Every structure is written in structure tokens, then in C-alpha cells.
Amino acid sequence: MKIHFIGIGGIGVSALAQYYLEKGDEISGSDLASSEITDFLQNKGVRIVISNKAENIQKDFNEVIYSPAVKSDNPEYQEAKRLGITLKSYPEALGELTNQYSTIAISGSHGKSTTTAMVALILIKAGLNPTVIIGTKLKEFGNNNFKMGQGEYLVIEACEYDGSFLNYNPHIAVITNIDKEHLDYFKTFSNVVKTFKNFILKLPAAGFLIANKEDKNLVKISKGKFTTMYYSTKQKEAIKLKKILKIPGQHNISNALAALEVARILHIKDFISFKVLSEYKGSWRRFEVKNGIANNKKITVVSDYGHHPKEITATLTAAREKYHNKKIWCIFQPHQYQRTYYLFKDFVKNFRLVAIDNIIITDIYDVAGREEKNINEKINSKVLVEKIARKNIHYMTLNEAEKFVKENIKSGEVLIIMGAGDVYKLVNKF
């Protein structure tokens, strides 16, 4: 089969493209900009085009799969429709795949990538040979976000944005938490909760829900014909995990407990799970620690994907626990004008409370196709910094932030580079 992917540079879409490539299909894809991911796919034999044009669609394509970010006025989408080629969204295509396996879907507003990674690595160590589609790159997968397995299990990260996970049919569902996230789509928190409830109800009678007992909203909706298993950082295993986990923070103890519960449902021995969890060093941009240099000064650089107020607090609190006597800097790039607007008060409150020595907030990363018209006139980073109004907080561009930190950071200090946009490119400058 010939399959073309629109938006192939997306973290989920790229994993699905690799699945079909492994199956022997002929794969092509397009994106608006080249990236590490598109380069990686090209090296694996995928034909990549950096543009969105009608001529990228060939008559002999069997299917065109498109990213949720792609709108119906996209020229490639329009051309595929005109030619009568089967069109599927990424969630629809992944949903079809979930029917072919015994699927374990990990969802939640925060922590799903880390939990998915932990679950996948435990299953691999136990010899279950799962196929894995995850929203981050793992060193254990050769710095990839995909692994083809030969076993009966499919482990996927299940995103709630756009109701994507309602296309999936898992046998085991994990929900780490429910929070005020993706309000550009959901509008209200009650809509977020309702959508998670609909996802839960997709579980069959013989299925399992693994839910965080410390999330009151989740507990309220976690009843059904399936079996519900709860986990909590108050259970005895949390003490052991705190001692053995290499990745810091209470939130990661919680993620590990969720993974442990999946393993127990699959009758994987605890000693295997604890060994895997003790060896897990984290994934791409999830508290990823590197040795850095700033004007010949040796520093520690932490790259993190956190972009929601709760994720920011969790990461910065974990950093303070890990580097309790060191001076900590943070360069944060807000992700999406709408998220910044809807959660403005939470950003202000959380940044006021975190025990970080120097904070730099850069310009908001504009997410194409997902912003309300003129929303950038209502909100910007300068206003956010002024409202936070704490000592040693600055608004700067990315270039200014790099220069300022290099000139002022001292040897032995810690720099956290945080956000879901292109701020990660700064990591290579240190």
C-alpha cells in the first residue's frame, strides 16, 4: 500500500508512519518545516516533502492520514478528497490499530508520556514484546518514539485533545489525572471531565481502568462494568519507589505506581517492574539532564516539556528537591496564546510560589491553526511577567535569554529550559 501522511513531523503521526513502514508499505509525508523527526524518517526511507501542496498527492495513493492539526482547507487534504483517496485522521487510523491488538492506552492531562514509557519498558523486560507508540523519544528505542513488537500488546499514549482518544478501544486504560488543559478545544473544565468519562466508558466489561485515587474528579467518573484499580502515593510501594527512581518528583512516583498496576494486571512479577523503574533515566525533554557549558563555566542543564502551570510547578519543585543547595535558573517559553490566556491566573500564582532563583519568560510560542483570532492582542509574556511581579523575573526574547544567562550564570548552577515549543533548541547552545 502507498500511504501519505500530512503533518508527518508530529510526534504521534511520525510513530504511526513508522508502523506502516515496518509493515512493508510505501510511505511518504509532508510538513511545513523540517525537523529532527522529518530528518530521522527520511533516513529510514520515508519520502519527505517540506510543503503542503496539492501536487504532493499522487493518484495511486491508497490512503492519506492527516494530523489533528490539519484543517479541511489544507491543499493536500482537498486534493486527496477530490481524487477520492481514503482520508483518515491520525486518531482514526490509530483507533483501527487498537482493534488489532490487546491495547493498553495511557491518558491523563499530565504524565502520560512518562507513564507510557515505564509501562512499555516493563512489558519489554517481561518478554511480552509489545508494539509501542509514544509521544516522546526514548533512548531505549534508539532515540525513537516507536517500537515494533511481535506480541499481542499495543501500548499507546492516548491524548484527549480534540477528543482523539475516543477513537481508541483499549483493554486496559490508565488515567493519571484530569486537569484544566486544552481549554481552546474543551472551553470548560466540565467538558474535559465529560470527555474523559466517555473515554472510560469505551472499556469492555472484561477491561481494566487504572486510576489515580488522589484525583477527586477522576474517582467520581471511574465506575463502570469494567474493573477499576486505584493507585495512590500513600500506598507502601511509594516509599520504595522514592528511593530507587532516578527521575525526581512526587509526580513521577505517581506515574511509576500507575505502571506498576498495569504490570500486576498482566501478572508481571514486581521484581521485574521495580528493576525497570529503578533503571529508567527518563525520556526526551522530560526532566532530561545534561552537562552544559556557559562561557567556559560548567553548569547542569535540564530540558523539560512542561507547559501547563501544574507541570511547571511539579518540574520546578522536583528540581529544587534534587538540587536543594544550588542556584536554579529557568527559561520558560509559554506554549499557545490561548493556554496562557485561559490559565493566566494559574501561571501567575504558580510562578510566584516556586522556589527558583532566576526566571526568564520568553515570547509565547504561537501554535498555527489552534489560536483564536486576535488573541495575541489580549495576552503576551511581558504582561505575564509584570503580573507575577517577583524578584529576579525577566521578560526576554530567546536570543536575549541565552546571552543573559551565559553572562550571569555561575559554575555549578542549574539551568532549566522549559516549554513545548522551539525553546528546546536553546539546550544545544549550552
Of 137-141, 233-237, 329-333, 361-365, the least confident: 137-141
**CA pair distance 306, 298, nearest whole angstrom:** 24
* 290 labeled binding residue: no
* 109 labeled binding residue: yes
**CA pair distance 221, 193, nearest whole angstrom:** 8
Question: Which contacts qualify for 142-148: CB closer than 8 Å, 24 or more apart?
Answer: 143/284, 144/18, 144/40, 145/11, 145/12, 145/14, 145/15, 146/14, 146/15, 146/18, 146/19, 147/120, 148/18, 148/19, 148/22
pLDDT digits (tens, 9 = 90+) for 64-120: 999 988 888 999 999 999 999 999 999 999 999 999 999 999 999 989 999 999 999
- What percent of the chain stands above pLDDT 90? 76
What is the identity of the amino acid at 260?
L
* Mean of per-residue pLDDT scores for the chain: 93
Contact 259, 122 (CB under 8 A): yes
**How high is the pLDDT of residue 153?**
98
- At residue 28 the predicted structure's pLDDT band, cuts being 50, 70 and 90, is very high
Mean pLDDT over residues 6-31, rounded? 94
- CATH, range 99-279: 3.40.1190.10
* Phi-psi map region of 389: left, alpha, beta (phi>0 left; psi -120 to 50 alpha): left
Dmax over CA atoms of the chain, in Å, equals 63
CA 198 to chain centre: 21
pLDDT digits (tens, 9 = 90+) for 123-179: 999 999 999 999 888 888 988 999 999 999 999 999 988 889 999 999 999 999 998
Q: Assess whether pLDDT exceeds 80 at residue 416.
A: yes
pLDDT digits (tens, 9 = 90+) for 296-310: 999 999 999 888 898
CA 411 to chain centre: 31
Question: Which contacts qualify for 49-58: CB closer than 8 Å, 24 or more apart?
Answer: 52/6, 52/76, 54/78, 54/79, 55/79, 56/4, 56/28, 56/30, 57/4, 57/83, 57/85, 58/2, 58/4
Mean pLDDT over residues 176-195, rounded? 87
Strand-pair category, 131-138 with 144-147: antiparallel
**How high is the pLDDT of residue 16?**
96
Mean pLDDT over residues 347-357, rounded? 92
**CA pair distance 209, 184, nearest whole angstrom:** 27
* 112 labeled binding residue: yes
CA 55 to chain centre: 32
Question: Which contacts qualify for 83-89: CB closer than 8 Å, 24 or more apart?
Answer: 83/57, 83/59, 85/57, 85/61, 86/62, 87/63, 88/63, 88/64, 89/65, 89/167
What are the C-alpha distances in Å from 283 to residues 41, 63, 99, 243?
19, 32, 28, 20
* 113 labeled binding residue: yes
**CA pair distance 210, 215, nearest whole angstrom:** 12
Nearest of 366, 313, 357, 315 to residue 338 by alpha carbon = 366
Contact 380, 363 (CB under 8 A): yes
User: Is it true that 2-89 and 288-429 share their CATH fold?
Assistant: no
This prediction's pTM: 0.83
Of 239-248, 266-275, 321-330, 372-381, the least confident: 372-381
Q: Assess whether pLDDT exceeds 80 at residue 185.
A: no
Domain ranges of the chain: 2-89, 99-279, 288-429
Q: Which of 9-18, 149-158, 349-358 has the highest mean pLDDT?
A: 149-158
**How high is the pLDDT of residue 119?**
98
Strand runs (DSSP E) across 318-372, as ranges?
Answer: 328-332, 358-361
Mean pLDDT over residues 352-360, rounded? 92
**How high is the pLDDT of residue 430?**
93
**How high is the pLDDT of residue 193?**
94
Give CATH superfamily name and number for 288-429. Answer: Mur ligase, C-terminal domain (3.90.190.20)
The neighbour count for residue 250, using CB atoms within 10 Å, is 14
- CATH, range 2-89: 3.40.50.720
